[in-house]
Amino acid sequence: MKASRGIVYLVLCGHAVLTLFPFAWVLSNSFRDSDAILTSMRLWPEHFSTRNFANLLEATNIPRAFANSVSITAVSLALLLATAVPLAFAIARFRFKFAEYVYIFFALAVLVPGVSVLPMTFRLFNDLGLLGTKFGICLVYATEQLPVSVFLLVSFMRAIPHELDEAALIDGCGIADLFLRVIVPLSRNGIVTVVILAFVAIWNDYLTALVLLPDQENRTLSVALAYAKDEYRVDYGMMSAAIVFAITPMLVLYFVLKDRITTGMAAGAVKG
Amino acid sequence: MGTLRFRPAVLLCMLPAFVLYGLFFVVPFARTVFNSLYEWNGMDEGVFVGLANYTELARDALFRTGFLRVGLWAALAVVLKVGAALLLANLLRDKLRFGRFFEGAFFVPVVISSAAISLLFTLLYDPDIGPLNVMLRTVGLGSLTRAWLGNTDTALLAVIAVPIWHTIGYFFVILLAAMRNIPRELYEAARIDGAGARVTFTHITVPLLVPVLQVCCVLAITAALKSFDYVFLMTRGGPGTATEVPVTTMYKTIFVNLQLGYGTAMATVIFLVALLATLIVRRVARA
Amino acid sequence: MTGYGTTRRAMLLGAMTMGLPMAASAAPPPPPAQKMNLRFGTNYAGVHPMAKVVRGLLDDFMKDYPTISISVEETPGNDHQTKIKLDASSDRLPDLFNYWRLDPGFGLDQIARAGKLADLTAWTQGDTDFKGLFDSYAWQTATLDGKVYGVPIIMFYVVFLANKAVFERAGVALPTDWASLLSSVKALSAKGELPWAISIGNDSQGGRIYNYVVNRMVGNPRAMRMHAGLEPINVPEMVTAARHLRELVVGHIPADAISINNDAVYAKYVNAGRGALIMDGAWVTPTIKPEVQSSLAVLNFPLIPGGAQTEQNIERDLTSLWYCSAKSMRDDAKRPYIQELVKRLSSRTAEKRYVEDANQMSPALGLEVNESRIGRVALQAQTLALSVPANKWIPSVMKPAQRSKFEPLLGEFLSGNHEPDAFVARLATIFGT
């Protein structure tokens, strides 16, 4: 039993090193310059120089891209909630013949890889005059997240006892009151899960932003980072700093909301 | 199904989602299928060519080989990602000392964007500074060092390894949650019957996880089919065409060569293959 | 062809007469009363030597026209092609942008034929500011189907450079002919030096060597016909060319030659003093560090015994032109300012700066430039480039879909993946003969 426990820890530690080593390595390199990086591999820099980061903040558009990512993600999430929550409410709490079809209709998109629709979304953006605008992309992000979000919300809302609806309506509540005062507060957990899932997906998107935000000043963090790859290809220190800059916010968020994120994403996969 | 009586206000609740979904999913999807019947450069009037784009696609070696590469990718993803995740989850099913640490650590990469991960691995694979080559040199295997992404023999596997590494943690968390939902009594009963760890794993854990494993397989396969970022950011389909996959070929066909008809035909085929793969996995899991 | 080498004095006289303001020349428009924004699309970005000069000219323009703002849309390198094509297909081309020639290889011909590019024929032929500024060859290059679409910016030629320090370190003599080029490459490899500092990815320096070897073997006109599908390409001479190319390149390039881009070659190899031979477009000389430049020798790419070319040729052409969006030029409010900006960006003053500050070769006639500002290497290379007849760039006749198949194939071949005859057979499937 002792020996097997040792093997268990060996496997676990091995995988933990495999998982964490790249981050430690790039973090160390972000404080070093290219010459030092070329000379030796270190997980602890010989001395901490913040020059790469200073350079990154001053000479690149990565900080601006960061701000773009924040605002675009926020607007997308608001749009997503404004459309998904009422729809889930309708499907979950009302009795009508075509509810099943509505459900299937929205399930369609889950089967279609977003990649294959994107070129025609680009044309549509062009026809609608949305190309070149900063927030047009939020419509697409919200749409992409809509199906999974609706499924999750419906399953959360269905778990709320139906007697509450009747009681609320008898008490003289309107549908709007029922929605805002009863159902939304009681599906708080579901909404948080949806927001987390959608946040991770939207924040991390690359391709949609690459195609639908052609203007330099609107680039999101992922896209700006990819351009940095071409610009700083051989400046290993700058590249490392750019990567660290891009991943740190997500890491911080993860450590703050660890349980919610892991359970949310696990639930999202299985239910979606 | 809910219990409340239907009323017009319900339509109002559904309207915003329908408008959004109709405009930004249904319309582009319909246009994709429609345009695949045309030869069109996006500027002139398109010419209706029927199924000609599809017959040409059937002969397009690059596109076909792309599916073979994605097939390899999907197979490796299922075996390695689901396999490793299953193993790790099984080790951590019962609470261990430091278990929380490992759970947290394994999931870390999942929250990072594929763009950042791709860049990180571009550095990790670098022939000069990459730890892989540095370690090989240190242990005297300098002859094995190479430009992992720049070598036609290693590029595809080097690329495929990245998304697998990136998302093992995701599958791990899914499977761990599912395992912990298995009633403890089943394991107790098995122990009383004298079953060892291996037997409980194969006779209790895996059979009860089949529905979740099925979800994982579908996710792994469709993710391989849809993945664009890793390939595009690490190799752009190169060296030569060694890492070209259907989505990167489609991207170049549409956005670089401006062959919108031909490219949307590719998009339609990718969709059909993804659909087919999903249905097959479901059927197999049921049997 | 033209230049400011041998014919400078004569040109200068011409320029002085034509430089005088004449009645037919449109006076610069007064600044617009309303605020106006012009979109400027360019790949003169990052380390590109033209970036600074062009930015300077734009800033000067905005100083003279304070109500006009210019938003610069930078996309580095060949991604600029994707950007412009996408912009064209979505009918939002920048008001003004620089781009390659109208050859099929760059896809701008389709854009022009779809009516997205402004037809500049009447303006460029009527406005006296353009009179005598460029020769007829340059204007022909700017013309498609009888319409002038572009205004020339800079010339392109290929430089072939040797880092003498590397040769000395290895104890190898500089190559003088084909045989010594082959033997020196092998000798350098044997001594542990890197013979070629090149990338062999898409549209890379590896392609330049391909052009040279193929031209040397079958001649430039025939090579162009072969790659345009007008003549069989699967012929013994091409297999010989492929064999020569393999001997010259395969195994003598950086380990990551196929995965790094052209710019990275400079940072990683050339400027680090690694790599004996460099072959690239002329625009790169300014990006080479001075201490490396000082040990560079300008070479002729040798003739190949038994090849079709029996005298020196160099790959040289007009490479960059200004183009305007058709929609913007139909806009009466914008047109005068776009025209004024184009004039300024193609004037002799501007062209002089492209030569002196960015070390480019200018297509403008009658330029008086201070040769000491060009730099020794660039000057020697330019002199050499102008002394021999020009070859055209082979991929310019390829259709985009063919180019996107050809370039990866060449990369594979230069990595040592195909036998010469198999490589040529694959070329035949791409170019359809």
Range A26-39 average pLDDT:
86
Q: Is B120 on the interface with A (CB under 8 A)?
A: yes
Residue A46's CB is within 10 A of a number of other CB atoms, namely: 12
Which of A22, A82, A229 has its CB closest to that of B233? A229
Contacts of B150 (CB under 8 A, 6+ apart): B127, B239, C255, C256, C257, C258, C259, C260
Predicted pLDDT of residue A3:
60
Range B18-47 average pLDDT:
92
Q: Tell me if B239 and C411 make a contact (CB, 8 A cut-off).
A: yes
Same domain, residue pair A34 and A95: no
β-sheet bridge partners, residue C322: C98, C151
Q: Is B7 on the interface with A (CB under 8 A)?
A: yes
Band (pLDDT 50/70/90 cuts) for residue A207 is: very high
Q: How far B171 CA sits from the closest chain A CA (Å)?
A: 8
β-sheet bridge partners, residue C298: C161
Q: Tell me if C261 and A235 make a contact (CB, 8 A cut-off).
A: no
Q: Which chains pack against B, by 3+ Cβ pairs within 8 A? A: A, C
Lowest model confidence (mean pLDDT) among A35-39, A84-88, A105-109, A252-256: A35-39
B8 is a domain residue: no
Predicted pLDDT of residue C361:
85
- List of chain B residues whose C-beta atoms are within 8 Å of the C-beta of residue A92: 2
Q: What is the pTM of this model?
A: 0.83
Whether the pLDDT of residue B284 is over 50: the answer is yes
β-sheet bridge partners, residue C70: C38
Taking a C-beta distance cutoff of 8 angstroms, is the pair B242, B73 a contact? Answer: no
Query: How far is C156 from C361, CA to CA, in rounded Å?
Result: 7
Q: Is A137 on the interface with B (CB under 8 A)?
A: no
The CA–CA distances, whole Å, from A190 to A149, A170, B195, B286 equal 9, 26, 39, 30
A22 is a domain residue: yes
Q: Is B146 on the interface with C (CB under 8 A)?
A: yes
The residues spanned by each domain of chain C are 8-156+317-386, 157-315+389-431
Question: Residue length, chain B?
Answer: 287
* Degrees, nearest 5: CA angle C12-C15-C18: 160
Same domain, residue pair A41 and A96: no
Distance of CA A255 to the CA centre of its chain: 15
Q: Is B136 on the interface with C (CB under 8 A)?
A: no
Of the candidates C293, C402, C301, C354, the residue with the CA atom closest to the CA atom of residue C156: C354
- List of chain C residues whose C-beta atoms are within 8 Å of the C-beta of residue A234: 264, 267-268
Q: Tell me if A25 and B274 make a contact (CB, 8 A cut-off).
A: no
DSSP state of C158: E
Query: How far is A233 from B126, CA to CA, in rounded Å?
Result: 11
Q: Tell me if A270 and B113 make a contact (CB, 8 A cut-off).
A: no
Q: Is C274 on the interface with A (CB under 8 A)?
A: no
Give the domain extent around B90: 47-286
Which of C113, C256, C408 has its CB closest to that of B240? C408
Taking a C-beta distance cutoff of 8 angstroms, is the pair C107, C331 a contact? Answer: no
Predicted pLDDT of residue C125:
93
Q: Tell me if B111 and A113 make a contact (CB, 8 A cut-off).
A: no
Residue C387's CB is within 10 A of a number of other CB atoms, namely: 13
Q: Which residue has the higher pLDDT, B4 or A90?
A: A90
Q: Is A238 on the interface with B (CB under 8 A)?
A: no
Range B132-161 average pLDDT:
86
The CA–CA distances, whole Å, from A102 to A144, A147, B22 equal 16, 11, 12
DSSP per residue, C329-356:
HH-TTTHHHHHHHHHHHHSHHHHHHHHH
Same domain, residue pair A9 and A133: no
**Minimum CA–CA partner of B258 in chain C:** C85
Same domain, residue pair A71 and A161: yes
Which of A19, A120, A175 has its CB closest to that of B106? A19
Please report how many Cα atoms fall inside a 13 Å half-sphere around the Cα of residue C42, on the Cβ side.
24
Q: Is the dihedral of CA C242, C245, C247, C252 positive or negative?
A: negative
Q: Tell me if A231 and C46 make a contact (CB, 8 A cut-off).
A: yes
Which of A131, A215, A233 has its CB closest to that of C90? A131
Whether the pLDDT of residue B112 is over 90: the answer is yes
Which of B35, B119, B263 has its CB closest to that of A239? B119
Tell whether domain C8-156+317-386 is in CATH 3.40.109.10. Answer: no
Q: Residue B268 sits in a domain of what CATH number?
A: 1.10.3720.10
Residue C7's φ and ψ, nearest 5 degrees, are -100, 20
B13 is a domain residue: no
The reply to whether C157-315+389-431 shares the fold of C8-156+317-386 is: yes
Residue C77 zone, left/alpha/beta (φ > 0; ψ -120 to 50; rest): left
The CA–CA distances, whole Å, from A10 to A17, A63, B83 equal 10, 41, 17
Of the candidates C205, C327, C196, C336, the residue with the CA atom closest to the CA atom of residue C270: C196
Q: Which residue has the higher pLDDT, C172 or B153?
A: C172
Q: Is A96 helix (H, G, I), strand (E, B) or coil?
A: coil
Residue C201's φ and ψ, nearest 5 degrees, are -70, -165
Q: Is C82 on the interface with A (CB under 8 A)?
A: no
Same domain, residue pair A80 and A37: no
Query: How far is A93 from A169, CA to CA, in rounded Å?
Result: 13
What total of structural domains would you count in chain A? 2
Of the candidates B218, B215, B247, B255, the residue with the CA atom closest to the CA atom of residue B230: B247
B35 is a domain residue: no
What total of structural domains would you count in chain B? 1
Same domain, residue pair A42 and A70: no
B34 is a domain residue: no
Range A227-238 average pLDDT:
76
Q: Is the dihedral of CA B262, B267, B271, B276 positive or negative?
A: positive
Same domain, residue pair A121 and A196: yes
Q: Is B257 on the interface with C (CB under 8 A)?
A: yes
**Minimum CA–CA partner of B252 in chain C:** C404
Distance of CA C49 to the CA centre of its chain: 13
CATH number of the domain located at residue range(s) C157-315+389-431 in this protein: 3.40.190.10
Contacts of C389 (CB under 8 A, 6+ apart): C311, C312, C313, C314
Same domain, residue pair A68 and A31: no
Taking a C-beta distance cutoff of 8 angstroms, is the pair A113, B274 a contact? Answer: yes
Of the candidates C86, A121, A142, the residue with the CA atom closest to the CA atom of residue B29: A121
Q: Is C61 helix (H, G, I), strand (E, B) or coil?
A: helix
Same domain, residue pair A22 and A74: no
Query: How far is A147 from A117, CA to CA, in rounded Å?
Result: 15
- List of chain C residues whose C-beta atoms are within 8 Å of the C-beta of residue B147: 255-256, 258-259
Q: Is B259 on the interface with C (CB under 8 A)?
A: yes
Which of A26, A94, A120 has its CB closest to that of B10? A94
- List of chain B residues whose C-beta atoms are within 8 Å of the C-beta of residue C255: 127, 146-147, 150-151
Taking a C-beta distance cutoff of 8 angstroms, is the pair A124, B31 a contact? Answer: yes
**A interface toward C at CB cutoff 8 Å?**
122-123, 125-126, 131-132, 214-217, 227, 230-231, 233-235
Predicted pLDDT of residue A233:
62
Q: Which tokens go with C4? A: 């400011």
Predicted pLDDT of residue C2:
37
Per-residue pLDDT of chain C (433 residues; tens, 9 = 90+): 334 443 333 333 333 334 444 435 567 888 888 899 999 999 998 778 899 999 999 999 999 999 999 988 888 777 898 889 988 988 889 999 999 999 888 889 989 999 999 999 999 999 989 988 998 888 989 999 999 999 999 988 888 999 999 999 999 999 999 999 999 999 999 999 999 999 998 888 999 999 999 999 999 999 999 999 999 999 999 999 999 999 999 999 998 888 777 877 888 889 888 999 999 988 788 788 888 999 999 999 999 999 999 988 888 888 899 999 999 999 999 999 999 999 999 999 999 999 888 888 888 888 888 888 888 888 888 888 888 888 889 998 998 888 888 998 999 899 898 999 999 999 999 998 5
Q: Where are the alpha helices (DSSP H) in C255-375?
A: 262-265, 290-293, 326-330, 335-346, 348-356
Q: How far B134 CA sits from the closest chain C CA (Å)?
A: 15
Contacts of C218 (CB under 8 A, 6+ apart): C226, C235, C237, C238, C241, C307, C308
Interface test with A, best of B13, B103, B175 (most A CBs within 10 A): B13
**Minimum CA–CA partner of C90 in chain A:** A126
β-strand C96-99 against C36-42: which pairing, if any?
A: parallel
Band (pLDDT 50/70/90 cuts) for residue A39 is: confident
Band (pLDDT 50/70/90 cuts) for residue A68 is: very high
